[in-house]
Amino acid sequence: MEILDRFDAALGGGIERAMIHHHMRRLRRHDQLPALAPATEGLWAQTGAPPRHGNELEVLVDGENALPKIAEAIEGAQRHVHVCSWHLEPDFDPGPRDARPVRELLAETAERIPVRVIVWAGAPVPVFQPRRAEVRAAREQLVRGTKIQCQLDSCTRMMHCHHEKLVIVDDEIAFVGGIDLTTLAGDRYDSSEHPHKEQEIGWHDATSRLRGPVVRDVAAHFAMRWEATAGEALELPEAIAPAGDTTVQFVRTVPEGAYRVLPRGEFSVLETYVRALRSARELIYLENQFLWSPEIVHILESKLRNPPSDDFRVVVLLPHKANNGQDDTRGMLGRLVAADDGGKRFLATTIMSRSGERSGPLYVHAKIGIVDDAWLVIGSANLNEHSLFNDTEVDVVTCDPALARATRLRLWAEHLEREDVSGDPATVVDEMWRPIATEQLERRRRGEPMTHHLVELPGVSRRSRRLLGPLDALVVDG
């Protein structure tokens, strides 16, 4: 078995290296190699829109906090509402719960002002969700008897999707993050307490609310997609007045050839992650649905093998069971554990819904990265090859230390279920994160009730894990 494992790992590693070289050749061919291999230092991406000064950025964690604010902004719109979603369910209730479905909210708004919606057209082959027939039926339900305009966007590479989640109101407010207006795969409306739900999965997610000049970049992205699908050019504001003191950069993944106006594509999400992770000195904190991009994992492995400081820590929060890519993620965790080599610098965790002694599944869908309390990213992009090279994605980035730290403390207080988390990050990881997560994993293994939401997520090194991830990337992301 050991010989087979070693053969499996060697073959998987070979495929991974081939995929990385494939992506390098692909980006070089389209003059986009600096996104994968930046030649300069610094945290701001150079391959996309420049950072914009004078913004307000608020991080909204979990659906109960975010969705009613989105609904309130739509209800107060004066000129137009623009929505992009991976999937939109007309009957979805954005809250406060038992208020009204999103179709009714958008239809009432469309009686006063234009409401434009772009939704991914669905999977072209019936092996993914949502299927195209289901999306067409949902669109018909959404627009029937209303003035809502809705376009189904199929401008994607085979086996990939439009994954972004945007709401833009009057080109003054924009929501950019990971929350879809749907219950497909799970209800996005959940509180930060994540109580146990009978027959339902809990959901951890996040989005951002933006005001200021960066909103124009978000609006321009929507306008590009709207013109490509509806044939209508939208007017953009010449400039948007400052609304705060935070510098924010809009980054995205748009594969080459998807849209006529971006023939070489854009991969600034990849670039911002590469720059930030390479720069890390003390802390990398990642919340994500997936962690199986070899380009990202290679950076993390290098950092763990050669720690930049004694206090360097890497903490990741992932789903207990991803809806796809699980084998790949667990294999990557095994590699990171091996790179750590007993140094206790790396910790992989997940969270469960819990009420008293009852606990159950909770899906981590947030896409947040924080490095050294100096860099913060939030958006729709997962840390897999889909999001970094082939799906369309949008994130926002800031290098505001106060905001990055405040966001980390907000998230850590939720996951650790305590407020006193403001100490030195390495100390908090060693004395709070690891003991809690390890204890809860042992309780689960003994069949005992959990006493905390947080639990350690072990790596998996079974044969085929090391090979299946690269094979999937070769078939799907090639």
Q: For residues 312-343, b (16+ Cβ closer than 10 Å) or e, as one string?
A: bbbbbbbbbebeebbbbbbbbbbbbbebbeee
How far apart are the C-alpha atoms of 200 and 17, rounded to whole Å? 40
Determine the CATH number of domain 2-49+250-477: 3.30.870.10
Superfamily for the 57-243 domain: Endonuclease Chain A (3.30.870.10)
Sorted by where each begins, the domain ranges of the chain are 2-49+250-477, 57-243
Taking the CB of residue 356, how many other CB atoms lie within 10 A of it?
10
Whether the Cβ atoms of residue 139 and residue 90 lie closer than 8 Å to each other: no
pLDDT at 468: 54
Q: Let me know if the fold of 2-49+250-477 is the same as that of 57-243.
A: yes
pLDDT at 476: 46
pTM of the model: 0.94
By C-alpha distance, which of 343, 17, 63 is closest to 200?
63
Sign of the alpha-carbon torsion through 174, 178, 182, 188: negative
By C-alpha distance, which of 69, 440, 152, 473 is closest to 290?
473
Q: What is the pLDDT along the chain (478 residues), one digit of tens a residue?
A: 466 556 556 556 667 888 888 899 999 999 999 999 999 999 999 999 999 999 999 999 999 999 999 999 999 999 999 999 999 999 999 988 877 999 999 999 999 999 999 999 998 877 678 999 999 999 999 999 999 999 999 977 767 899 999 999 999 999 999 999 999 999 999 999 999 999 899 999 999 999 999 999 999 999 999 999 999 999 999 999 999 999 999 999 999 999 999 999 999 999 999 999 999 999 999 999 999 899 999 999 999 999 999 999 999 999 988 765 455 566 789 899 999 999 999 999 999 999 999 999 999 999 999 999 999 999 999 999 999 999 999 999 999 999 999 999 999 999 999 999 999 999 999 999 999 999 999 999 999 999 999 999 987 543 345 555 555 554 444 3
Whether the Cβ atoms of residue 473 and residue 21 lie closer than 8 Å to each other: no
Residue 211, token pair as written in the block:
């005001």
Sign of the alpha-carbon torsion through 356, 362, 365, 368: positive
Residue 230, token pair as written in the block:
């509806």
